Amino acid sequence: MINKKELISSINRLKSKKNAIILAHNFQSEEVQDAADFVGDSLELSQRAMKSKAAMIVVCGVRFMAETIKILSPEKKILLADKNSSCPLAEMINVGQLKDFKKDHPGAVVACYINSPAEIKASSDICLSSSNALKVIEGIEKNKPILCIPDKYLAGFIKKMTQREIVPWNGYCPVHVSISPKNMIALKKEHLDADVLVHPQCTPDVIALSDRVLGTGQMVRYVKDSKKDTFIIATEIGINYRLKKENPQKTFLPASKNAICKNMRLVTLEKIFHSLRLETFQIDLKPEIMKQARACLQRMER
């Protein structure tokens, strides 16, 4: 059996030979984050891919992330390190259900979370991420209802922060929903000086305990600039590794040690190696879907 050091050397050899890079999401395991050329949230990964001169990209994340990267960097070979790494939230609405949802709300604008499959992006008007959601929603033509899919908690958070008419779809992220207020209240009592950072996919009772509601990319930037020493972090626990690595003098307390996305954690060093060696699992999307989904993503950038 090949040891970890040899595995990393083999990965690096294949990367140079094939002009490849590895992009990993903030929720990946420690060893996958360490092996990556860049770690970020889903939007940051796709932006980094666009800037890269690599011919091949191994995506350590879930399928919608690799699809988004392919849509925005169609000339590159995009590989998903594990073919089964899908996001349960992204699968909570399908194209037929979206069609019916639109029929029930004629004239509404469909704003889909970046955590959506390519086909859903292609059937939506505009995309949003957890870091730019409010800005995107505020930029939508006034007096139009907005169908916010698929995460009802993200939609509920946006609704509270704007005057816009938001109609949520009934989806949720099982990992963020598993974070309960109980442990957070205890942590807050124990660490009176801590800043509480909560992801907008958490439930309203968890959001109510926050000092800031931020996407993971925003959390990374906020912590770096903050004068505080201690942070309670309510999102998937993988982010804590990155936060500690980049801010070794600060303390990060996960709101729930069980908030682990098992779909994200399907990716391993072995799978990255096989992905690079065999050039699997390639993301291949229909040209029409790519075109429509790209337009949806690009509207977000304006």
- Determine which residue in the list 57, 87, 93, 136 makes contact with ligand SF4, applying CB under 6 A: 87
Contact status, residue 90 vs residue 62, Cβ threshold 8 Å: yes
Taking residue 246's Cβ as centre, other Cβ atoms within 10 Å add up to 12
Stretch that binds ligand SF4, among 93-101, 157-165, 242-250, 256-264 (CB under 6 A): 256-264
Site for ligand SF4 in 259-278 (CB under 6 A): 261, 263-264
Q: Which two tokens stand for residue 175?
A: 């990992």
Q: Which is nearer to ligand SF4, 89 or 253 (CB)?
A: 89
- Determine which residue in the list 88, 101, 211, 244 makes contact with ligand SF4, applying CB under 6 A: 88
Whether omega before 150 lies within 30 degrees of 0, making that bond cis, reads yes
Contact status, residue 145 vs residue 109, Cβ threshold 8 Å: yes
Q: Which is nearer to ligand SF4, 115 or 124 (CB)?
A: 115
The yes or no reply on residue 293 touching ligand SF4 (CB under 6 A) is: no
Q: Is 162 helix (H, G, I), strand (E, B) or coil?
A: coil
The yes or no reply on residue 45 touching ligand SF4 (CB under 6 A) is: no
- Determine which residue in the list 133, 149, 166, 175 makes contact with ligand SF4, applying CB under 6 A: 175
End-to-end C-alpha distance for the chain, whole angstroms? 50
> How buried is 199 (Cβ within 10 angstroms: 0-12 exposed, 13-18 middle, 19+ buried)?
buried
Residue in the block written with tokens 């169908």: 147
How many Å separate Cα 268 from the centre of its chain? 18
The yes or no reply on residue 206 touching ligand SF4 (CB under 6 A) is: no
- Determine which residue in the list 22, 60, 71, 89 makes contact with ligand SF4, applying CB under 6 A: 89
In the complex, which residues of this chain contact ligand SF4 (CB under 6 A)? Answer: 27, 62, 87-89, 115, 173-175, 236, 261, 263-264
